[in-house]
Amino acid sequence: MAGSTVDANADARRSADLELGPAVGSWMICSVGMMIFNKGAIGVFPLECTLTGLQMAFTVLAMLVFCFRSIHIGSARDVLRWSLVAPFFTGMLLTSILALKNAPMTLVIVFRSLSPVLALAIERFYPNPLAITPAMLWAIAVMIAGTGLYASTMERDSFVGIQWVLLNMVFAVGDRLLQRLMLAKDQHPVDISKTGVTLLNNALGMLPLLVMAGYLDLLKVIFHFIDVGFIVSCFCFCSCFFCAPQAIARLQRRVQQSPWCLCISGPQGDAGLGCCCCCYCYCYCCCFCCCCSCCCCCCCYCC
């Protein structure tokens, strides 16, 4: 009896290890795609709130059409618990666009390497905290040193959007920490499927976003910016955005927050490992859509 239990645990660990690589890879593909298309879309359509709202509305519609059967929401209490994630999710998206609009992409990427420090401190209060190893601390120290070296060589004008970069880091860490707490089986999970949390993130997140967009009176000028380039950019943008939350949900079940922050802070690692894992079965449809979007975008701008 004990032997069969040990074998079952070993099989479960092997299955988790096999799923970890493709989960990380699929997230990296979406992460790189979202950053590139964010930068392009905000240049074509410089209305931050409206652009973020279009992404969310597209994702909600796509989830209801293509993933309706897999959506599972356990109870109203689970929805209330998950609603804590929505403000951080919306804040992360909006500040990411504002950061890319006002700062170089390299600045956004490099300063994200500071997020593991904040995440590691907060994650110590989890029901099952992450075990800290010397190798992990050395990796974080090297990233902090690299960030300082990068910042020391930058001109003062390049720090115009630094406040948005730092605010985006805070929202992103809060979003990831809450998702890790409510998705990981060894923490305090909710009874909601991965497609369900994706739907809730975008549906609940649109409420504060619409209030902000109305307050800034951005909706009245939306029609001045609609053209072919805007439509293509939004299609590319939304394709990555539809896949990314599902990849996040899968990854959060397998990886603690601090190592994940280490993983996502390197753009070269994103591109390299992402290309190796592009056949991940859970996200192949969305990855194919992203590739088609890239081709359409290139053709449009070349023409």
> How is residue 128 annotated by DSSP?
S
User: What residue numbers bound the domain in which 251 lies?
Assistant: 29-302
pLDDT in tens, the chain (303 residues): 555 555 666 666 676 667 777 877 887 788 778 888 888 888 887 778 888 888 899 999 999 999 889 999 989 999 999 999 999 999 999 888 888 888 888 888 888 888 888 888 888 888 888 888 899 899 989 989 998 888 888 777 777 788 889 999 999 999 999 999 998 888 888 999 989 999 999 999 988 887 777 765 555 555 555 555 655 666 665 655 555 555 555 555 555 555 545 544 544 344 333 433 333 333 434 444 444 444 443 343 333
pLDDT for residue 50: 82
> How is residue 131 annotated by DSSP?
P
β partners of residue 192: 73
**Residue 257 placed within a domain:** yes
CA angle 209–176–41, rounded 5-degree value: 45
Write the Ramachandran bin of 132: left for phi over 0, alpha for psi from -120 to 50, otherwise beta.
beta
**CA separation for the pair 147, 184 (Å, rounded):** 30
Concatenate the DSSP letters of all residues of 208-226 into one string.
Answer: HHHHHHHHHT-GGGGGGS-
- Residue 286's contacts (CB-CB under 8 Å, 6 or more residues apart) are 30, 239, 240, 242, 243, 246
pLDDT for residue 18: 74
Question: Which tokens sit at 172?
Answer: 């992103």
Question: Which tokens sit at 111?
Answer: 């300063």
Closest CA to 241 of 191, 208, 177, 198: 198
Question: Which tokens sit at 179?
Answer: 């998702």
pLDDT for residue 242: 55
Check: CB of residue 240 under 8 Å from CB of residue 30. Answer: yes
**Residue 9 placed within a domain:** no
Backbone angles phi, psi at 192, to 5 degrees: -135, 135
Name the domain count of the chain.
1
**CA separation for the pair 256, 181 (Å, rounded):** 9
**Residue 105 placed within a domain:** yes
**Residue 24 placed within a domain:** no
Separation in Å, CA 29 to CA 10, 22, 32, 179, 181: 30, 10, 5, 20, 24
For residue 155, the number of C-alpha atoms closer than 13 Å in the C-beta half-sphere is 4
Question: Which tokens sit at 213?
Answer: 């967009």
pTM for the whole thing?
0.69
**Chain centre to alpha carbon of residue 224:** 30
**Residue 260 placed within a domain:** yes
**Residue 4 placed within a domain:** no
β partners of residue 56: none
**Residue 63 placed within a domain:** yes
β partners of residue 73: 192
> How is residue 67 annotated by DSSP?
S
**Residue 135 placed within a domain:** yes
For residue 195, the number of C-alpha atoms closer than 13 Å in the C-beta half-sphere is 15
